[in-house]
Structure formats: C-alpha cells, structure tokens
Structure 1
Amino acid sequence: MKILDRYILTTFLKTFFPLFIIIMFILLLQTIWLFISELAGKDLDFSVILKFLTFATPRLIPMVLPLTVLLTSIMIFGNFAENYEFAAMKSSGISLQRAMRTLSVFIFFVGIGAFLFSNTVIPASEKRFINLRKNIVKVKPAMVITPNQFNDLGDINIKVAEKYGDNDEFLKDIIIHKKAARPGNFTVIKAVDGELKGSVNSDLVTLVLNDGNYYDEIQPKSAKRRKKLPFAKTHFKQYVLNIDLSSLDNVDMDEQQYHKGYNMLNVNELSSEIDTLSIHVNNSVTAVINNIERRNGLKDINKNIKYAAQQSTVSTDIIDLKDHFDTGQKLQIYKLAYSNTDGIIRNINTTFRNQVVRKRALNKYEMSLHDKYALGISCILLFFVGAPLGAIIRKGGLGLPIVIGVVLFLTYHFIGIFAKNSAEEGGVPPFIGSWLATFIIFPLSIFLTYRATTDQGIFNLDVFIQPIRDFFIKRVSKSKK
C-alpha cells in the first residue's frame, strides 16, 4: 500500500469509528426511551439491563452503518477539497478515481461484512432480544396487563379498558376468561371496575371485582342436552379472585420460546419458510375452490345431464326444473340453495381474511430476505454518493456536510419505509419494497461520481442561463439597429 493510500484510509477510519459510536449511542438512547416502560419499576438486575442493551444493539446496524458511511465520506472528501489536498493530488497526476480506489475496496468489504452480519448476528440477537422482552414482562403482574387487549395472568386471561393509580392497581371495564382443563372459554367474568391487591412476601395476588356478572357455560354429558346450550349467570356486587403467581418467581431470562419470527432467521431459513408459506397460501385457495365445487354440486349436475342426454332423445337444452316439483319441494330446494350459498360466502370471506394475514406474513419474510442483500449494496452506493458530493461542495467538518448527509439519508430511509409499508399490504412486490430506495440512489451515485471526476458542479447553471442571455443580447442589438 502506498503512502497516499495509507493516508486516505487512515483519515477515513479515524472519522468512521468515532462517528459510528456516536450515532449508535444516540439510537441506543432512543431504543431505551421506546422500551423504558418494560424496564422501569421491575427491580431488574444490572446484568439483565445490560443484556437488553446488548441484544438491542445489532438491530440498529442497518440504520447506523449506511448513515456512518455516507457522513464519513462527505466529511473526509470535503476536508480534502477544502484544504486543497485534491488540488495537490491532481497536480501530481492523481485523479479522484485513484484517490477513491483504496476506500472503494474497503467499502466493498464493509458491504460483504454487513451482509454476513445481517445474516448471522442480527437474527441471533433479535431472537434473544424478543425472548428477553417476553420474559421481562412476566416479572411484574401489573405491567403484564396492557389496556384493550387480553393478557395472560396466572390461570386467567384478563382484558381491561384502563388502568390507573400510583402502581396501576385500579382497573376499569374488566373482562376475564378463566382457564379450564377442557379447551375453550366457558367461564367469563365481567366487572365495571376492580383493584389488584398483593403482598411482597406472598405469591398470591387478590383481584377485587366490583359490580359485575359471572357467566358459566354448562357442559352436560348428554348430547341432546348440550344442544340447548345451558349456562349459569350470577350478578355480584363484589367478587374476590385469588391469582397464583408463584411461576413468576422462577422466570428464566435466558429462556428461548420464540424463534420463528421473520427477523430471527438467516437466508436459508427464510427461503425455507417462504416456500412453506407459499404452499399454504396456494393450498388454501385450491381447498376453497374444491369446497365450493363440492357444495354447489356443479360437477355432479354436469354428469347427470350428460347421462340423461344419453338415455333420452328428449332435448335437454332448456329445462324448467320448477315445473317438476310441488310447492313444498320448491321451498325445501330454495332453503337448501340459500343455506349452501350462505355457507359458501362465509367460507370465501373467512378464507379471504386468512389469506390477507398469510400474504402479509409472506411479504414480511420476503422483504427480510432481500433486506440482508440490500444492506451491503446500500453501504457501497452511499459511499459513491457521499465521496463525490464532498469533493463537489468542498466543505468538511461537522457543519454543512452533516446537514446534507442527514437530509440525504432521511430521504433514502423514508423512501424505504414507505415502500416496505406498501409492500407489506401488497401494494407493490416485496422485492420492490426492499430495493426501491437502493434503486433510486444508484443513478444518483453514478451522476455525482461522473460530475466530481470531470471537475463539474452538481448542476451547470450556464446550460440554462446562457441561452437566455444570448436571447436578450440579440433583442437588445436588434432594437439598437
């Protein structure tokens, strides 16, 4: 490596690593702020909090690394241009392409490293991060209860509209489903409000419910009696429910229960999961079509008509079937047709809703697969945006380059977010959702590199101004004549 290459690479690395750490620290603080409700007030050990931050750090790399590459390249090449170092290089016969050669090789390896990191470290850390969050939630029962959704607490599932008080012990609009040995929700308790009471030294938490109803669906042994759907209903002014939370004392923070999320898999696992989901989507559509054809009896009707045509010489082109049945039979046929049609419509609507969920999950898995490749490519392209841009604006330091770099990156980032949201809902293919922002910066990197290597500005205003100037000069000269 020549002295010039060593100097450029050393200067780049001296800015790259401190800037990477600063941006990572800022985004890590934002992560802590987002998840502060899951950490605060649970008497967690420092080691658990340190694990939380350690597992949360790799998931920030897809944002931190491209931004660091862009800002560093703008700042370094802006400094070179501002301090006339590029002028000295050009006077010695060294072009901008030659000056960028060593850093281009370095950024190429950074892109490969980014792909390997996103394929190995990020899925593993995301798996640990999600499982750690799930385990932390189990530590404090009051924090388990999230308003407006069912929460698993001991041997009950509880949903509340609101919780308030100094320790969130007071609850409003409570719905409870009690767990039982048999599957299903057979016991439901509803109350206007309630209060959680407990002792530090006890494994039992007392839930006091006020002004509610207790519903219990009875399951007789006789099938005939079960058809009557018997149930018991009781109104209460106050109902005390004891919840055993002894299992929360033995929460293993390293337990790994969740491992199938789209962000927890590498390339091979994602490909396998995508194939599985695609088969499920296709099979569900085929099953619906077969079910509809079976229920409407279209195939059997065609078979019967063909058989009747072979056995009879009577024309079967137009047959009014209503003339062959009396009123009672017609009514029975109409009821059967209505029942079949209603069942088919319900089946189609249910399948449609399931297909929407499956396709959304499939789109997420496909975008996660493409994101791993797009990360490395985006780092390389953002370097070829930042380096020539810094050489053109000829301004280094932490002022204008930071502003320009942040604006460029936010534009790139928001385009990616909008594209992914659209792809998740099926508006655009998942491939476009992951690569749209990269496709946009690709021609920009070529344009800026060409303008910088040919010693031109971003825009040559003379191309637009000179024709206007010539027009007015000709008009003035004609008026004088």
Structure 2
Amino acid sequence: MFIFIFQAIWFFIDEFAGKDIDLEIVGKFLFYYSPNLIPNVLPLTVLLASIMTFGALAENYEFAAMKASGISLSRAMRSLVVFIAFLSFGTFFFANNVIPAAEYKSYNLRRNIAQMKPAMAISEGAFSTIGEDFSMKVDQKHGPNDNLLDNVIIHQLSNGGLNRKVIKSVDGELIGSEDSNILQLKLIDGNYYQDMEAKSRDKRDNYPFAKAHFETYTIFMDLSELNNIDLEEEKVKNTFKMLNVSELNYAIDSLAIDNEKVFTNFGENIFKRTGASNIQSKPRNSPEVKDTPKEDQELSEVEKQEVRAMLLKNIDSTITLYKDYRQSQMVDMALNTVKNTKSTLEGKKWDLNRRIKLYNHHILSLHQKYALAFACFILFFVGAPLGAIIRKGGLGLPMVLAIGLFLIYHFINIFTKNYAEDGSLSPVLGAWIATLIMLPLGIFLTRRATADRALFDTGGLLTAIGNFFRKLNPKKKSEASN
C-alpha cells in the first residue's frame, strides 16, 4: 500500500506541487484516494503473502513433518482457505461500499481544489471553465506555478450566455495575489474577435463583427466566489465509480433503455431520409400506373418489404422503367441523400460512441467488484502451492515470482479493460478474463503440490515425447521387441 501511495503522489504531483496547497488538504486527498488502490494492492498482497508463507514452511521442512504425521497439504491449507473465503467476501463489500464512497470524496475534493486554484483548473489541450464567463484552452503550461501559458484561446460569454467574444494570443500569464480576489490574465500578441449585435432586423443577416490586433491585453477575473469554496462541499455524485451494485444495476437498465430509444429513433430517421419507406411496386409515371386508381397502389407493410427486397436485388432494371430525365433526377437525389446521410452519421458518431462507452463503463465497473473478490481467492491457490513447490521463503525468489505473476495478471486486466471500454470486447469478459486465466494455473499448481511433484516434471515429459514418437513408428517398436 505504501508503494502504491507513492505512485499516486507522483501521479498527482503536477497538480499539487507549487500551488500553495496545505499539506493537510494533500493528506486528506491521499486518504480519500487510497481505497481506490485496493483493487491493485490486495491481489498482489495475497499472492506475495501466500508464496512467502508456504515457501518458508516448505523450506524449513514443516510440510515434511506434517506429512509424516499424516497431515496432507490440503488439510494444512483448510484453515487458510476459510480465511481467504472470508477475505474475499469482505473484499466484495469493501469494493461495493467503501471504494465508491472514497471515490465520491476524492473526486469532489479534487474538483473543489481546482476551482479554488485557477491554474489547476486549466487543462492542457482542452477547454476549461474559469468562473462563469470564461472558457479557456492552452497548449502548454509552464513556469514556477504553471502561470505561463502558450497558445491561449478564450471564449467569453455575454450576459445572455452567448459566445460572442473570442480571444487568441501566442502567450499568456496568470498574475494574482493571496490578498486579492482579482486574477489578472495578461495576453501577449493576439487577436480579438467579437460578433456585433445588429439593432435592426434587416442587418442581422449580414453577421457584422469586430476584429482587433493587440500586443498586450489584460483581462481581470473576479475570483471572490472561487475563494469562498468549501472544500468539503459535495456536488458531483453520478460517475460510475461512485455507484454500488444496486445503483449500477439501475443505471445500466436506464442507460440500456435510453440507448435503445436513441439508436432506434436515429435509425428510423436515417431510413426515412433515404426514401426507401415510400417505395411502391411500380413507378407512378409508368404506363401501367397512370391508369391505376390511387387506392389500388397502396400496399401493405409485408408487400412493401417484399418490393424493397426485389428492388434492391435488381436496382438497374428498376431505374430503366422511368424516363431518361427522371433517371438523371433520381441518380442526383440518391447521391445527395447518401452525402447527407454520411454527414449525419459522422456528426452523430461521437455521441453514439460516447453512449456505448458509458454503458460499457457501468457494466465493467459492476463485474469488477465481483472479479476482485474472486481474484483474491484464485491467487491464493496460485501462491500457496507455488510456495510449497519452490520451497523458498523470505523476500528473494518469492518476491520475484509474485511480482512476475501479478504483472501478468495486471497487464491482462488493463488491456482487456481498454478493449471492453470501446466495445471491442464484451465488458463482462473484460472484467473476468484476467481472473479466468489464473484459474487453470491455480488448479494446475494445487494438483502438483498436493501430489508432491515438481513444478515441471522433465522426466515424465521426455517419456511422453518418446511414447509419442514410438506410436508414429511402430516398425522400430517391433524390432526393439524382437
């Protein structure tokens, strides 16, 4: 836990170092953040402790004494199996109750600190909200307190909440003091753009705007509300990491219904734009249709589907039923429809992918709570028999084996999680696959240790290979018997 806490410090050091934040606040944040490290810490702890303990017992011939007394390895492990089972149940309740509450506390505390320190609220390469009127994006922050900015873009909202002002500059500098509620943003070498509101209705269609170039431009931001922020205030409580099992199940059902509605409506809208819903069995300007009454041309839904399938299979012969000028018009209309549909799909793609990713996040978070508890149980059956087989205790070889096995488990977990988030892999399988890979390894090692056999039986392997080749060449087998 101590090692992972230091990793967290290095991960957040850019946000806290040099920002005049009290050590008490940093310590409170690390305290709230530490339960989030349990999914990484606990499996490694169980694996390392089991290898070291059983390795030390085997190294000191304790298992030999037990076997001489009639106590098998499975019987010696019985009490620890019960303990690990209780630990697994406790881990699930911890992941279901404590970790979401800690995530809720740490997220809100970090958010409030960022609002209190505007330099922290500015993210590199993305728009960040400063106060209520400014949205700012910078390419890079540097300087002693990250107060020097490169390539600044600012959108300033008007009283009506409209984005009428845009300011761009090559460089910028944040200037402020602890005694003042006013923050100065000094911009260097930039341009100022503002949409002008036309007074008459006739001139509004001309979209008048003002443009100016400046060498230095200073913006004053009122931080009186930011400086009065309560660090213990808790507003955000709807991210998937802050939910327990019942809340996740409810959120998953709601997201599934909402996504189905959005995808269905979008699909129907695209289908209606294509005009395929209005396809008839015969074109209306053909000689056969001109004399046909309107009510006789109406088809049922089943007939329409059959006609659509027929037309899609033989589209070239269908278009020839129309006159030449109508064929040209139909081709132009089809091309425009395809272009518009493609543009609509590209515009909607980001929102649809966001919905899928959010849905996968919730399912992944739900199953990770169960997978964590099961992983502790499985990794015990990997570490305990492995320690009994290698017969080494202490922090030498057991530490190397434990870290190696944990890194395999951890990297598989990370890769499958990333694949599950974007939909390339089922989120249920993404949460369980690392644990399921360790399951046959635990069964194999437990069977080897219970049978008091080495990790790799080279003699038996060579015998099996020899028997395999003898079966392939029965002639040599008969000659050897003669």
Confirm or deny a common fold (TM above 0.5).
Answer: yes
Aligned to 1:113: 90
The correspondence of residues 287-366 of structure 1 with structure 2, limited to 5 A, is 287-302=265-280, 312=291, 320-323=321-324, 339-366=336-363
Aligned to 2:187: 209
What is the deviation of 1:208?
2.2
Aligned to 2:422: 425
* Runs of 5+ unmatched residues, structure 1: 1-23
Structure 2 residue identity aligned to 1:168: D
Structure 1 residue identity aligned to 2:276: L
Aligned to 2:168: 190
The match for 1:368 among 362, 365, 370 is 365
Structure 1, residues 3-59: CA drift from partner, whole Å, max 9, x if none? xxxxxxxxxxxxxxxxxxxxx111111111111122222333343222111111101
Structure 1, residues 296-319: CA drift from partner, whole Å, max 9, x if none? 333234399589977725999766
Q: Confirm whether residue 137 of structure 1 aligns to residue 114 of structure 2.
A: yes
Structure 1 residue identity aligned to 2:148: F
Aligned to 2:6: 29
Q: What's the secondary structure of 1:219's corresponding residue?
A: coil
**Shift in CA distance, 207/352, structure 1 to aligned 2, threshold 3 Å:** closer
**Shift in CA distance, 438/199, structure 1 to aligned 2, threshold 3 Å:** closer
Aligned to 1:382: 379
Structure 1, residues 62-101: CA drift from partner, whole Å, max 9, x if none? 1111111111111111111111111111111111111010
Structure 2 length normalisation: TM-score?
A: 0.85
What is the deviation of 1:216?
0.9
What is the deviation of 1:453?
0.7
What is the deviation of 1:212?
1.8
Aligned to 1:55: 32
Stretch of structure 1 that moved more, 274-283 or 160-169: 160-169
What is the deviation of 1:420?
1.0
Work out the percentage of aligned pairs sharing the same amino acid.
47
Q: What's the secondary structure of 2:423's corresponding residue?
A: coil
The match for 2:407 among 406, 410, 427 is 410
Maintained 8 Å contact 1:38/1:133: no
* Runs of 5+ unmatched residues, structure 2: 298-317, 471-475
Q: CA RMSD in A?
A: 3.0
**Shift in CA distance, 298/183, structure 1 to aligned 2, threshold 3 Å:** farther
Structure 2 residue identity aligned to 1:226: R
**2 CA distance for matches of 1:357 and 1:349?**
13
**2 CA distance for matches of 1:265 and 1:467?**
53
**Shift in CA distance, 45/236, structure 1 to aligned 2, threshold 3 Å:** closer
**2 CA distance for matches of 1:450 and 1:204?**
71
What is the deviation of 1:462?
0.7
Maintained 8 Å contact 1:193/1:211: yes
**1 CA distance for matches of 2:332 and 2:200?**
30
Structure 1 residue identity aligned to 2:218: V
Structure 1 length normalisation: TM-score?
A: 0.85
Structure 1, residues 134-181: CA drift from partner, whole Å, max 9, x if none? 111122223332332222223311222233333333322221111222
**2 CA distance for matches of 1:73 and 1:63?**
16
**2 CA distance for matches of 1:398 and 1:241?**
59
**Shift in CA distance, 402/302, structure 1 to aligned 2, threshold 3 Å:** same
What is the deviation of 1:321?
4.0
Maintained 8 Å contact 1:288/1:347: no
Q: What's the secondary structure of 2:57's corresponding residue?
A: helix
Structure 1, residues 357-402: CA drift from partner, whole Å, max 9, x if none? 2111211111111100001100011111111111111111111111
**1 CA distance for matches of 2:332 and 2:204?**
26
Aligned to 2:433: 436
**Shift in CA distance, 461/152, structure 1 to aligned 2, threshold 3 Å:** same
**Shift in CA distance, 211/44, structure 1 to aligned 2, threshold 3 Å:** closer
